[in-house]
Amino acid sequence: MALRVLAPLLALLALLAWGATVLVNTTTRAWFERDVSLRARLVASGARDALVSRALRGDRHRLAPILQDIERDDRVLAAAACSEGMTTLARTRALPPRFACEPLAGRALAAGGDLDLSEQDGGALLHVAVVPLEHEGRTAAHLIVVHDLSFVARREGAMRRFTLGVFAVVALLASAATILVRRFTWRRWTEEIRRVLGRGRGSLLGAGSPRAFAPLVSDLRAMIAELAAEQGAALAGQWTPERLHRVLTDSLDGDSVVIVANREPYIHDRGADGAVRIRHPASGLVTALEPVMRACSGVWIAHGSGSADRDVVDRRDRVRVPPGEESYAIRRVWLSEEEERGYYYGFANEGLWPLCHLVYTRPVFRADDFRHYETVNRRFAEAVCAEVAGPDPVILVQDYHFALAPRMIRDRLPRATVIGFWHIPWPNAERLGVCPWKRELLEGMLGASIVGFHTREHCNNFLDAVDRFLEARLDRERTSVVVGGRECLVRPYPISIEWPDRWAAAAPPVEECRRAVRAELGLAPDALLGVGVDRLDYTKGIEDRLLAVERLLERFPAHRGKFTFVQLAAPSRSLIPEYRDLGVRAEALAARINARFGGPGWTPVVLRASHHEPPEVFRHLRAADVCYVSSLHDGMNLVAKEFVAARDDERGVLVLSRFTGAARELGEALLVNPYDVEEASLALAAALSMPATEQAARMRALRAQVAEFNVYRWAGRMLTDAARLRRHERLSARLQSGPRPLDETPGSGGLVAR
């Protein structure tokens, strides 16, 4: 009987598995083919001018270096330049003979000069693009770009194995279920389940049941409810502020959160006229966390750094924000000048900042600075304890300023859910080894329930460091650390921005921004504009960015007089010599480029070293033809995502450093190595000549990505993981301590353990 039922079921499952593999493989293959075809055209548009001018002059020797440059891309196998009539002008050595100009001539010319093929060659799957290069309205030459698509075949193989694996597991479960069905009838099963979970006679919650098991059942119920909610939410798609708030209330029984972050989201400054004004700091952390706080409500504990901050707080050092909305409070912590120097400028920004960023700036560690760091961490931990309402609050500890605070909070609030998030890269164990207080940092962070980083690589670095420097049990499977009998999850949560972005939504129409920004800069209405937006920080690659602009003007003289790059650079941490020196060097570099290329009516580089409020930033992002984010190393970089949010017109090109966390998500940007000025200048040229259709295709894909992976999802995933961990901890605590007396709390709607 079991076999009679099983055979058709297994056949059906096999059919489904096969269908799923075919469908997924065809779709991914088409996707990759489209992607490499786009890349080939991008390469062609970047190299067009140089190729055409050399092809027309018949300068074959000077074509070869350009083709070799193209071939340097990881996935490009070979390239060739052909004449208008498809005879070979130059080619790289690896070009398979059948994909040279002459053999492809017939097919290419029949297709109007523009051809895409995917074919097997000696066991490898290759994609060949023949791209016509236009000059004065006619085809002057062709570029052949051959991409190696073997990685697609490898992915298809992996997908097949995965699907077959899933099939095997499902088949196994189906067999087990069939055998069980045979053993018990469905009726007996449902009766049994009703008896266990129901409230009727004989149930666990019924009159004669052991009441000590009630919490287990309610946990089970909560888990089922949460799964259902998650499933419902997944169907509903988008993460929203409401959905985030629901996770907080339904899964964590919370109605607010406490955030600990050095930087406050609203700074009150007194101007020269005596009036108090609000400043929004240039901070990725604030960009991301502020919408989360508005969604969740609660208290944001921060250093009160504004000149009028003390004048606007109540007697508990609190002020309600955002102005006009007042949905949460900032609790300000005051620091003496000496404390700020030691904790913020010293240990955090002269020690940890260069330690964590691979930018070759030497970290400085002073015992005095660390002493202040400890004191300030303790001060913030005390502020947390003063702000929370019950024994198990949800506390989000942000960034490298507060590595010690999670343990200090845990010591005072053992049942708290503490989520620590590190916004910058985490170094490998060898690099971390130079920090005299590495053990204190690791132990402090492990006081959290969850430690989050942007990328898996940084999680692995952290786990390696724990392994090397502490006595703790690592669970590589769960990516967690068990220390002092408590588990701390170590997980990647790539941060993001709110979507829709409120500043983008409030900005004037794109056309108006284009006109206004060009007029302010004294540029012609059709001038091409590049934009960079950063704090003036040596990790952001601002000098390399300006050098790329200079190289662009050298290599592509057509852009002289037409292209201007405006850099908005917010002064930052200027008590530190490296930051001051950077400001001086950037000004000198901009002046040198302007003296070299600029002239009456045209300034190639405009460096605005001052604070810009978000509406100003968004106006520039909306006015730009290209935005270049050139960080030498960056945890995430939210300017890249803000540029995407700003472009609801689906225009503008993002040129993005490969060394940002954002590059892992924003694959449709032009990814560059900012140290490689040749590559970066070529990408800028490609961006400036990119056809509108390609800009739109890329921008649409980028916008879909940021919309789906918005900051509510970032916070929601952390809270969901925290809820699971909390339930798991409570369950094991109950199981370990055995049945305990229960208290029926009137009005609570349930039973609670005393």
Residues found near ligand F6P in the complex (CB under 6 A) = 262-263, 283-285, 399, 423-424, 572-573, 635
Inter-residue contact 441 to 400 (CB < 8 Å) = no
Instruction: Give residues with Cβ within 8 angstroms of 279, minimum separation 6.
Output: 266, 267, 268, 269, 306, 611, 613
Residue closer to ligand F6P (CB basis): 262 or 480: 262
Q: What is the torsion angle, in degrees rounded to the nearest 10, for the CA atoms of residue 73, residue 76, residue 77 and residue 80? A: -100
Nearest-CB residue for ligand F6P: 285
Interior angle at CA 457, CA 454 and CA 462, nearest 5: 90
At closest approach, how far in Å is the CB of 351 from ligand F6P? 13
At closest approach, how far in Å is the CB of 284 from ligand F6P? 4
Residue closer to ligand F6P (CB basis): 108 or 451: 451
At closest approach, how far in Å is the CB of 285 from ligand F6P? 3
At closest approach, how far in Å is the CB of 68 from ligand F6P? 38
Residue closer to ligand F6P (CB basis): 517 or 640: 640
Buried b (16+ CB within 10 A) or exposed e, 40-52: bbbbbbbbbbbbb
**CA-wise closest residue to 520 among 570, 553, 568:** 568
Run of H or E including 377: helix 367-387
Residue closer to ligand F6P (CB basis): 283 or 689: 283
Length of the chain: 754
**CA-wise closest residue to 466 among 445, 492, 436, 491:** 445
At closest approach, how far in Å is the CB of 570 from ligand F6P? 8
Residue closer to ligand F6P (CB basis): 54 or 401: 401
Give me the phi and psi of 608, to 5 degrees please. -110, 95
Q: What is the torsion angle, in degrees rounded to the nearest 10, for the CA atoms of residue 721, residue 725, residue 727 and residue 731? A: 160
**CA-wise closest residue to 518 among 509, 527, 508:** 527
Inter-residue contact 661 to 687 (CB < 8 Å) = no
Sort 54 into a burial class: Cβ within 10 Å, 0-12 / 13-18 / 19+.
buried
At closest approach, how far in Å is the CB of 303 from ligand F6P? 9
480-483 β-sheet, strand order: 318-321, 328-333, 298-303, 257-260, 394-398, 417-421, 450-453, 486-492, 480-483, 473-475
At closest approach, how far in Å is the CB of 59 from ligand F6P? 48
Instruction: Give residues with Cβ within 8 angstroms of 531, minimum separation 6.
Output: 565, 566, 567, 568, 620, 621, 623, 624, 626, 627, 628, 643
Distance CA 408, CA 410 (A): 6
Distances (CA, A) of 315 to 188, 321, 348: 65, 16, 29
Strands 653-657 and 626-629: what pairing?
A: parallel
At closest approach, how far in Å is the CB of 286 from ligand F6P? 7
Residue closer to ligand F6P (CB basis): 78 or 302: 302
Distance CA 101, CA 98 (A): 9
At closest approach, how far in Å is the CB of 584 from ligand F6P? 19
Distance CA 79, CA 236 (A): 46
Residue closer to ligand F6P (CB basis): 36 or 356: 356
Residue closer to ligand F6P (CB basis): 54 or 357: 357
At closest approach, how far in Å is the CB of 674 from ligand F6P? 17
Q: What is the DSSP letter of 99?
A: G
Residue closer to ligand F6P (CB basis): 399 or 543: 399
**CA-wise closest residue to 723 among 214, 197, 227, 212:** 227
Per-residue DSSP letters for 138-180? Answer: EEEEEEEEEEE-HHHHHHHHHHHHHHHHHHHHHHHHHHHHHHH
- Residue whose token pair is 């099983």: 6
At closest approach, how far in Å is the CB of 594 from ligand F6P? 28
At closest approach, how far in Å is the CB of 634 from ligand F6P? 8
Per-residue DSSP letters for 209-220? Answer: S-GGGHHHHHHH
Residue closer to ligand F6P (CB basis): 423 or 551: 423
At closest approach, how far in Å is the CB of 572 from ligand F6P? 5
Give me the phi and psi of 482, to 5 degrees please. -105, 120
Residue closer to ligand F6P (CB basis): 423 or 622: 423
Sort 681 into a burial class: Cβ within 10 Å, 0-12 / 13-18 / 19+.
buried
Helix, strand counts (H, E) of the chain: 26, 25
Residue closer to ligand F6P (CB basis): 39 or 332: 332
3-state secondary structure of 613: coil
At closest approach, how far in Å is the CB of 227 from ligand F6P? 33
Per-residue DSSP letters for 295-363? Answer: HH-EEEEEE--STTHHHH--TTSEEEESTTT--EEEEEE---HHHIIIIIIIIIIIIIHHHHS-S----
Residue closer to ligand F6P (CB basis): 36 or 533: 533
Residue closer to ligand F6P (CB basis): 341 or 724: 341
Per-residue DSSP letters for 6-34? Answer: HHHHHHHHHHHHHHHHHHHHHHHHHHHHH
At closest approach, how far in Å is the CB of 399 from ligand F6P? 5
Residue closer to ligand F6P (CB basis): 108 or 570: 570
At closest approach, how far in Å is the CB of 637 from ligand F6P? 9
3-state secondary structure of 489: strand
At closest approach, how far in Å is the CB of 344 from ligand F6P? 7
At closest approach, how far in Å is the CB of 306 from ligand F6P? 13
3-state secondary structure of 277: strand
Residue closer to ligand F6P (CB basis): 561 or 571: 571
Residue closer to ligand F6P (CB basis): 634 or 679: 634
Residue closer to ligand F6P (CB basis): 25 or 305: 305
